[in-house]
């Protein structure tokens, strides 16, 4: 059986409970974790250990918190208040963990679902999404990764242009795949608004409601947006249900068998920020 799982963020105990509840067996089953593997929760390093131990049975995407960890490790930014990745950075296996993280995926399309951490800009179709995800993966795994982290923390450009090159192209791809929530009605990114879908300022719409979205009709699964909560539609799965904020950790079975949503309560409760 195959399951998609929302943001874990270092909440290893709820992850263990969720996997026990579905009877996960690595030799038989596969999980797809939709990014933000670490940070804010109490057991980031243990979460990585658990996921790595599953080998190919765990397909893990990278989210904004995972990329932030890599940027800290490259000396580009400092830890923020509330970050809980110190165990990883201080581990004797630090370099091995950073290597493992940097070799995770930015987007996957399997079982009829296009999987990303945050979303897809309206101007991209599925093929373009996977192409740009691949470009970003190669950068993160190559010798230019450090230079890119120095250029990664910016909101510009806000609008897609196929002629974008270099760090501007990769930064736009990063912001879409790991940070997008709202866009303007003509398709530009808004990376400041974090409220739920019903609280958008005038002129903004959730990315999945953008007019003319080229992935319309392509089933997409994503996390990242805890204030959005669970969306379970035939063409859309929103799976960040706020585990780290005291909500739930959510999985959905997608292997063609009986569609099933599985959730466990999370005791860990951080304050959003």
Structure confidence by residue, pLDDT tens digits, 81-132? 999 999 999 999 999 999 999 999 999 999 999 999 999 999 999 999 999 9
Task: Confirm whether 249 is domain-assigned.
Answer: yes
pLDDT for the residue 23:
97
How far apart are the C-alpha atoms of 11 and 13, rounded to whole Å? Answer: 6
- Tell me which residue range forms the domain holding 41: 2-265
CATH number of the domain that residue 182 is part of: 3.60.21.10
Task: Confirm whether 271 is domain-assigned.
Answer: no
| Cβ atoms < 10 Å from Cβ of 147 | 14
Q: Is the confidence at residue 167, as pLDDT, over 80?
A: yes
Task: Confirm whether 9 is domain-assigned.
Answer: yes
Task: Confirm whether 270 is domain-assigned.
Answer: no
Task: Confirm whether 272 is domain-assigned.
Answer: no
pLDDT for the residue 269:
52
Task: Confirm whether 244 is domain-assigned.
Answer: yes
The number of angstroms, rounded, from the C-alpha of 10 to the middle of its chain's C-alpha atoms is: 13
Number of domains in the chain: 1
Q: Exposed, middle or buried, 99 (CB in 10 Å: 0-12/13-18/19+)?
A: exposed
* DSSP one-letter code for 13: H
pLDDT for the residue 194:
87
Task: Confirm whether 273 is domain-assigned.
Answer: no
φ and ψ at residue 44, rounded to 5 degrees: -65, -45
* DSSP one-letter code for 142: S
- Structure-block tokens of residue 153: 């923390």
How far apart are the C-alpha atoms of 23 and 36, rounded to whole Å? Answer: 23
How far apart are the C-alpha atoms of 229 and 55, rounded to whole Å? Answer: 29
């Amino acid at each position: 059986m195959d399951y998609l799982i929302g943001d874990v963020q270092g909440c290893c105990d709820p992850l263990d409970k969720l996997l026990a509840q579905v009877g996960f067996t690595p030799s038989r089953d596969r999980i797809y974790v939709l990014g933000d593997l670490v940070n804010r929760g109490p057991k980031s390093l243990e979460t990585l250990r658990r996921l790595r131990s599953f080998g190919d049975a765990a397909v893990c995407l990278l989210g904004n918190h995972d990329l932030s960890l890599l940027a800290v490790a490259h000396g580009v930014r400092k830890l923020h208040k509330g970050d809980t990745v110190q165990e990883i950075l201080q581990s004797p296996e630090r370099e091995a963990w950073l290597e493992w993280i940097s070799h995770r995926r930015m987007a996957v399309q399997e079982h009829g679902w296009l999987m990303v951490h945050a979303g897809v800009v309206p101007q991209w179709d599925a093929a373009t999404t996977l192409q740009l995800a691949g470009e970003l993966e190669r950068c993160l795994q190559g010798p230019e990764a450090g230079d890119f982290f120095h250029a990664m923390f910016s909101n510009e450009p806000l609008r897609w242009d196929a002629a974008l090159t270099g760090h501007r192209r990769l930064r736009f791809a990063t912001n879409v795949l790991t940070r997008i929530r709202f866009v303007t009605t003509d398709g530009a990114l808004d990376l400041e608004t974090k409220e739920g879908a019903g609280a958008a300022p005038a002129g903004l719409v959730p990315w999945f409601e953008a007019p003319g979205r080229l992935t319309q009709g392509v089933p997409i699964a994503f996390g990242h947006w805890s204030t959005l909560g669970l969306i379970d539609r035939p063409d859309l799965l929103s799976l960040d249900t706020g585990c780290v904020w005291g909500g739930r950790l959510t999985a959905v079975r997608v292997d063609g068998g009986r569609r099933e949503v599985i959730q466990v309560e999370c005791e860990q409760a951080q304050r959003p920020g």
